[in-house]
Amino acid sequence: MSTMTIDNLRKSFGATEILRGIDLDVADGEFVALVGPSGCGKSTLLRLIAGLEEASSGSISIDGRDVTRLPPKGRDVAMVFQNYALYPHLTVRANMGFSLKLRGDDKATIDSKVTDAAAVLGLDALLERYPGQLSGGQRQRVATGRAIVRDPKLFLFDEPLSNLDAKLRAQMRTEIKALHQRLKNTMIYVTHDQIEAMTLADRIVVMQAGRIEQQGAPLDLYDRPANAFVGGFLGSPAMNFVKGILGSGLFLAEDGTQLPVPDGFDAEQGRSVLWGVRPEAIGPVDQGFSGVVEVVEPTGPDTQLLVRVAGQPLVVLMHKRMRVSPGDQMTLGVQGADIHLFDAADGRRLHL
Amino acid sequence: MDTPFRSPLALMLRYGLLSILAFMVVCPLAWLALASLRPQAEIFQPVSEFGWHTFIPSRLTLDNYRALWNGDFPLAVKNSVFVAFMTVVFGIVVNALAGFAFAAFDFRGKNLLFLLVIISFMMPFEAIVLPLYVMIRAFGWANSYQALIVPEIANGMVIFLFRQFFASIPRDFYEAARVDGASWLYIFTRIAMPLSWPTIATSGLMLFLAQWDSFFWPVVAASAPDYAVVQVAIARNINFEQNDWGGLFASTNIAILLGTIPFLLIQRFYVRTLISGGIK
Ligand SMILES: Nc1ncnc2c1ncn2[C@@H]1O[C@H](COP(=O)(O)OP(=O)(O)O)[C@@H](O)[C@H]1O
Ligand SMILES: [Mg+2]
């Protein structure tokens, strides 16, 4: 049972400030996903929480206790590394029992805890093997097992699935979700894969350049991104953006094309804005704006189109098969509720 | 067939040439080995009348070795073995710790210090013999085992080897252990050292050979008969009115043979690399 509070946390390496004031509250049992582009400081934040790096300023408390200046040992957190970091000269059993042995647990306790964790993760048959004799997915499980035997206050995962192929990744994602539902420990999970974040997390924290851009429930973030960056980062294929200005009750793209605005949206005319729409929100209609099909990509259940609208390519995703070919003219429409308007200068969302 | 065709003539030339080279390398050693088994009087006789007797002795004898056994050579062997063994044990511990510190920690002056380490093994030993001797004298260590062992323990080349190896171990290993609650000493002894067998073997060998072959420093620092090491003892037998060639050859032979034992013992460690498998 544990909570974590981070208050105005900053970290600089030399003159470069990598984390620029992070505030974060994590509730007991919560699964928080940290996402953001590569280099935005996710791993650094995780390493600060683990105590592997020292904060430049600000504070971290776990369960109400300030741990900012404590070494890793004093924090009772477990971390699963991207590379797994299994000790090659130790068996799976010894790897999983490593922290318990350090802690001074007696052999019988270690054995029973390791056996329990191995059963949960389906590693029973592999306990006497060495890491070199395991497949990628099995190594990942051992790394997870090494963390869960400790029953720590906090689990930290740093892109734990990024070394697996797509199929295994999807499978392990489900396993981690099941594990969390079973253990109910507090977990902080770093990933740059927004699908992982969406599917696993109770709450997503989107970071960019050392700051938290937005946090909230996955679908809230998806439906109501606070700025153009979050809108573009979450979702695959990514949100379409068109540059232009506001007219009266409509949006004017740079080439003069008229596009709709959210229902009841009212703002100063002539303001420069970004018009954003998710690919799946656009569809063929009788009355709307027109575009020319450039690329057709059938994926089986879906059809993904690249359509030139207002002088720029928009991605359109339809959950059906389409009989269209490049060069075809299409009339497209979008529901007012699915349109996002952002300030062109600072990217801020302009409406509720 | 994708192996390139080689004419028999080219092959014959190749192996012929290699055989000649091999013969040239082995010949003096073989001659040395055989010479030590000949009676004293016969050693140089076959050289002046070159023939098959040059290589095949008319009579084999262990007299030279027996004489050696009864002299002070066994003491020199004992000294050398002791000095080399202690240097290897302490040298591995000290140099591995130093290498680990360079690889794992960031501290002020680290780069400068590492530069000094590298310079220390670039510098010819002769350049520091005098100051070193003055120091050893000041410690009152002249003619003692300490004088032979202590200056050889810290070895820049070995520190360098260990640093390179420890730096090649992914940091994640150290960090995973730290999060799991391990102290740095625990990480060094339980994770870093067990992974570095090949480096330990190589370093041990280097430290051993440095001591086994060392001559100049022992002559300077511990020339008393009680502390004479093998090379010093061998050199004692070389003088201008030489008449104990057999003893010289026999002692050289023993020095060579004993020197190769560590090689044979640790050969298998070169084959195994432990580092693979834990990462990714
Ligand atoms: N020890 C360090 N020294 C200097 N710069 C670092 C160090 N660790 C990370 N950085 C820098 O901090 C930035 C954020 O890194 P990181 O937290 O690993 O990003 P992410 O995990 O989000 O991809 C990067 O630009 C990286 O170069
Ligand atoms: Mg990272």
Q: Which residue of A has its CA nearest to B177?
A: A99
User: Would you state the pLDDT for residue B276?
Assistant: 44
Minimal Cβ distance to A87: which of B178, B183, B191: B191
A92 lines ligand 1 (CB under 6 A): no
Residues B53 and B25 in one domain: yes
- What span, in angstroms and rounded, lies between the C-alpha atoms of A344 and A272? 5
Instruction: Indicate yes or no: CB of B181 within 8 angstroms of CB of A133.
Output: no
Pocket of ligand 1, candidates A18, A56, A206, A211: which has the most ligand atoms within 8 Å of its Cβ, to mutate? A18
A87 lines ligand 1 (CB under 6 A): no
Residue at which a domain ends, from B65, B87, B107: B65
Instruction: Indicate yes or no: CB of A98 within 8 angstroms of CB of B180.
Output: yes
User: Would you state the pLDDT for residue B280?
Assistant: 40
Read off the tokens for B57. 């002795």
Distance from CA of B177 to the nearest CA of A (A): 8
Bridge partners of residue A22, in order along the sequence: A9
Distance from CA of B279 to the nearest CA of A (A): 5
Collect all residues of chain A within an 8 Å Cβ-Cβ radius of residue B187: none
Q: Give the number of the atom of ligand 1 that is nearest the alpha carbon of residue A53.
A: 1
Q: State whether residue A99 sits within 8 Å of chain B by CB.
A: yes
Q: State whether residue A130 sits within 8 Å of chain B by CB.
A: yes
Domain that holds residue B94: 71-278
Query: Hey, what amino acid is at B184?
Result: W
User: Would you state the pLDDT for residue A349?
Assistant: 95
Instruction: Indicate yes or no: CB of A71 within 8 angstroms of CB of B178.
Output: yes
- Alpha carbon of B176 to ligand 2 centroid (Å): 15
Residues B155 and B35 in one domain: no
User: Would you state the pLDDT for residue B53?
Assistant: 63
A77-80 and A154-158 strand pairing:
parallel
Residues B43 and B75 in one domain: no
Residue at which a domain ends, from B11, B39, B65: B65
Instruction: Indicate yes or no: CB of B277 within 8 angstroms of CB of A136.
Output: no
Total number of domains constituting chain B: 2
- What span, in angstroms and rounded, lies between the C-alpha atoms of A338 and A320? 20
Distance from CA of A44 to the nearest CA of B (A): 13
Q: Which of A43, A87, A144 to mutate to test the interface with B (most CBs of B within 10 A)?
A: A87
Atom 9 of ligand 1, residue of closest alpha carbon:
A44
A43 lines ligand 1 (CB under 6 A): yes
- What span, in angstroms and rounded, lies between the C-alpha atoms of A230 and B259? 69
- Please list the ranges in chain A whose pLDDT falls under 50: none
Collect all residues of chain B within an 8 Å Cβ-Cβ radius of residue A83: 170, 172, 279-280
Residues B60 and B76 in one domain: no
Encode chain B (280 residues) as per-residue pLDDT tens digits: 455 667 888 889 999 999 999 999 988 888 888 888 888 777 766 555 666 666 666 778 888 888 888 888 999 999 999 999 999 999 999 999 999 999 999 999 999 999 999 999 898 888 899 999 999 999 999 999 999 999 999 999 999 999 999 999 999 999 999 999 999 999 999 999 999 988 999 899 999 999 999 999 999 998 888 999 999 988 887 766 666 788 888 899 999 999 989 888 887 665 444 444 444 4
Superfamily of domain covering A237-343: Nucleic acid-binding proteins (2.40.50.140)
Give the model confidence (pLDDT) of B130-146 as tens digits.
999 999 999 999 999 99
Residues B8 and B145 in one domain: no
- Alpha carbon of A39 to ligand 1 centroid (Å): 6
Overall pTM surpassing 0.95 (yes/no): no
Report ipTM for this prediction. 0.86
Instruction: Indicate yes or no: CB of A85 within 8 angstroms of CB of B172.
Output: yes
What sign has the CA pseudo-torsion B123, B124, B127, B132? Answer: positive
Exposed/middle/buried for residue B51 (C-beta within 10 Å: 0-12, 13-18, 19+): exposed
Interface of A with B in 49-88 (CB under 8 A): 50-52, 71-73, 77-79, 81-88
Look up the CATH number of the domain holding residue B112. Answer: 1.10.3720.10
User: Would you state the pLDDT for residue B277?
Assistant: 43
User: Would you state the pLDDT for residue B66?
Assistant: 87
Minimal Cβ distance to A103: which of B170, B181, B194: B181
**Coil, strand or helix at B275:** coil
Residues B132 and B267 in one domain: yes
Residues B136 and B60 in one domain: no
Spell out the SS3 assignment of B213-255.
HCCHHHHHHCCCHHHCCHHHHHHHCCCCCCCCHHHHHHHHHHH
Domain spans in chain A, listed from the N-terminal domain onward: 4-231, 237-343
Provide the CATH number for the domain formed by A4-231 in this structure: 3.40.50.300
Residue at which a domain ends, from B45, B65, B85: B65
